[in-house]
Amino acid sequence: MLGSQAQYETTVDLADERELSRFVDWLLYLGDDVEIVKLPKPMWRLLRQKGHRFDEKKS
């Protein structure tokens, strides 16, 4: 079984709803294997609205 690992750091303007939504959609596209280490509360709210399965305890 092959695996890969990456670390991604970025900044997102939380006041820009379009940018926030695109970033959350990208996280959802990556799937359930993503381990979120730190995420702002507005992103968690949007993830919940869109039906995420990520574990918020990791943030």
User: Each residue's pLDDT tens digit in the chain (59 positions)?
Assistant: 667 788 888 899 999 999 999 999 998 898 877 888 888 999 999 988 887 766 555 44
Record the tokens describing residue 21, joined without a space. Answer: 């939504």
Q: How many residues does the chain have?
A: 59
pLDDT of 33: 79
pLDDT of 16: 95
Question: CA geometry: angle at 44 spanning 14 and 16, to 5°?
Answer: 15
pLDDT of 12: 92
Chain centroid offset of residue 32 CA: 10
Tally of domains within the chain: 1
* Assigned domain for 3 exists: no
Cα(48)–Cα(21) distance, integer angstroms: 12
pLDDT of 36: 83
Q: Global pTM? A: 0.73
* Assigned domain for 2 exists: no
* Assigned domain for 1 exists: no
Q: Which domain holds residue 31?
A: 17-54
DSSP string, 17-39: HHHHHHHHHHHHHH-TT------
* Assigned domain for 11 exists: no
* Assigned domain for 24 exists: yes
